[in-house]
Structure 1
């Protein structure tokens, strides 16, 4: 791997909070809309051997974050709920032995219906997982079939019942603007999810991503932009009525139940990523470095055995920092305090004054002497807002 030469970047006066992301790359079946780094486990997998590799990856990464507390852990995938309780216990015990995990750290695991067993999830809770994110996507059997999901509506309800029996902090993932979906069907999905009493809900617009099966064979009956916008507005209104705060583009939470791990991403915090395809953002006095591990599980394990699982490592250019900061912070409906820009980037506010003025003049943000927040118009046209902060060089 090419070595990176760092130049001094002394503007950072303090390091941001640090999170840990752990990637589990296997799933039962690849969904046709999914562009995440997930691989069908046709030949099975050795989860204990993979966890041993994860912990070795963490050990090799420690010099870059030495002495810093880890405030949140997120175990994503793929489908991490395919792991055995023994592997989960080994993973979390190993993390605690290697980093200074905050006493009240939020530890999230992603799970999908079809992988739920009551005793297994009881064991995950005993191992230290304290938050679940359950990928339901829809409660409509026809919609689930069109999405290529391995579960049906009955399994979706059972999964949420099991999740909420063992965990008091549960996120539900739903999609809208699905093939042949009507506004009434989208609202029915939401009503069924809310009836379970989840503490957090993520509502995602189905998008056709490159290099997915849907990008090659687009499903029939996708709602047009106007119908999709109607669904989004209706879902947001129903969630507000139910007492959920809309705190990020696609995220809604009951009071004090925001996802702390994702908030750290969106506030331009630091995160160490271990596992196949995991990404990292690490700040230091020399600047901000981004890393990506090898994506294919076999390539990742081979590179790790050779002493370094990182495939790419580069310092973020100073000219790119305003866009990178805004790409995260402007997803938050509350916006951000202006002082955070200098704190997290090491740049002065002069670097973004012209762009802020343009955004304000176009009705995309509201600002005060101390605060910036996206308007509803800015939230709806976030890409247009972010484009203002792109630099040519």
Structure 2
């Protein structure tokens, strides 16, 4: 059985399916709406070509996780998912306990596909519930209602041993008391994992335009902290502590794929707008593909891949990425591994200052982690350590 640890994060494959039925006003992901049916056969063939290209750069790896993200991967036919998984298995050894996650929207049509996805090789789903309040779902631009969300969770629980779902809090006009009531109900539906994201205004989104026009209010820092504190308290009481800033799980049920990112492992990314990080004889490289779906398809069919970024990262850049990702985890980082990645030690003076302010902690095992007090200002803590 493949073993994933903080010092050996492993290798994963990310597959980006960029299509959605509609664009949510808060979303800044690479997602696209099409009025015509997508030619899945062509896209899967192109993904297989990109997988072959990435495999040529990552020989000797064993795939420990596969993640279908989007967009809305649950719009894919099960045979398309199976085709991608077959291509992955063709090019790399696959761990016997590989985690294969597919993101899904909770519409009844997509939930009915869960059994087909399981047969195709998916063994974990992540459901974009976002809210159990119909009014708020409409404001968030979601096409499902609370009843459909509940049904999708029920189906997932029947079909998969592992599933998760997402909620967004700090929504416009939401009170902490209302969020506490919603979260308490949601926690009764959790098996072992839940993702809880505080709403942020992302650039180039409809919510940003509304916010800039004074038509959308979000919690100020004090109210945002109250939402955060309530979330941590209730999840801890439910034995679902945060293992990452926005992700909560029972011990052993963490998302293995996301741990590869946060522990600064390697991953190949295929599909429009996908990113990757791989280690070559010359060092760690950052990959990104063409974002526009049809352009990506055309380029892959012509060249075998659609990389638009293939950058050798400097040790300084690697050190910054390592801190940015690793300090999101409650387990923190190994200072010695940072030194190996970045080619320098963390500044003892900065660590001492943050320790004195209660923003970070040193564990008995010698790991550096952000404290519960420091997590709400994580970006500032990371910036201080990286300077």
Task: Tell me the TM-score normalized by structure 2.
Answer: 0.92
Unpaired runs of at least 5, structure 1: 1-13
Q: Say which SS state the counterpart of residue 217 (structure 1) adopts.
A: helix
**Structure 1 residue 306 corresponds to structure 2 residue 299:** no
Distance 2:334 2:185 in 1: 37
Counterpart of 2:317 (choices 315, 320, 324) is 320
**Structure 1 residue 84 corresponds to structure 2 residue 77:** yes
The higher-RCO structure (CA 8 Å, 6+ apart) is: 1
**Structure 1 residue 56 corresponds to structure 2 residue 57:** no
Distance 1:198 1:272 in 2: 29
8 A Cα contact 1:323 1:389, kept in partner: no
CA distances 1:181-205 after superposition (whole Å, capped 9, x unpaired)? 1112212221232222332111101
Offset, 1:352: 4.3
**Structure 1 residue 199 corresponds to structure 2 residue 192:** yes
CA distances 1:315-334 after superposition (whole Å, capped 9, x unpaired)? 11122222111101110112
8 A Cα contact 1:200 1:254, kept in partner: yes
For the structure 1 residues 117 and 371, does the alpha-carbon distance in structure 2 shift closer, same or farther, using more than 3 Å as the test?
A: closer
| Aligned residue number for residue 293 of structure 2 | 297
| Aligned residue number for residue 131 of structure 1 | 124
| Aligned residue number for residue 360 of structure 1 | 355
| Aligned residue number for residue 9 of structure 1 | none
**Structure 1 residue 235 corresponds to structure 2 residue 228:** no
CA distances 1:245-286 after superposition (whole Å, capped 9, x unpaired)? 211101100221111111111111111100000000111331
Offset, 1:32: 0.2
Counterpart of 2:332 (choices 335, 354, 360) is 335
For residues 180-329 of structure 1, the aligned pairs below 5 Å read 180-218=173-211, 219-307=215-303, 308-329=305-326
8 A Cα contact 1:172 1:198, kept in partner: no
| Aligned residue number for residue 10 of structure 1 | none
Q: CA RMSD in A?
A: 1.9
| Aligned residue number for residue 35 of structure 1 | 28
Q: Say which SS state the counterpart of residue 388 (structure 1) adopts.
A: helix
For the structure 1 residues 44 and 192, does the alpha-carbon distance in structure 2 shift closer, same or farther, using more than 3 Å as the test?
A: farther
8 A Cα contact 1:116 1:159, kept in partner: no
For the structure 1 residues 50 and 193, does the alpha-carbon distance in structure 2 shift closer, same or farther, using more than 3 Å as the test?
A: same
Q: Say which SS state the counterpart of residue 106 (structure 1) adopts.
A: strand
8 A Cα contact 2:318 2:342, kept in partner: no
For residues 374-385 of structure 1, the aligned pairs below 5 Å read 374-385=370-381
8 A Cα contact 1:180 1:220, kept in partner: no
Offset, 1:45: 0.6
Offset, 1:15: 7.8
Q: Say which SS state the counterpart of residue 374 (structure 2) adopts.
A: helix
Distance 2:159 2:368 in 1: 39
Offset, 1:113: 1.2
Unpaired runs of at least 5, structure 2: 1-6
Distance 1:353 1:58 in 2: 43
For the structure 1 residues 141 and 263, does the alpha-carbon distance in structure 2 shift closer, same or farther, using more than 3 Å as the test?
A: same
CA distances 1:1-35 after superposition (whole Å, capped 9, x unpaired)? xxxxxxxxxxxxx9852111000000110000000
| Aligned residue number for residue 102 of structure 1 | 95
Q: Say which SS state the counterpart of residue 31 (structure 1) adopts.
A: coil
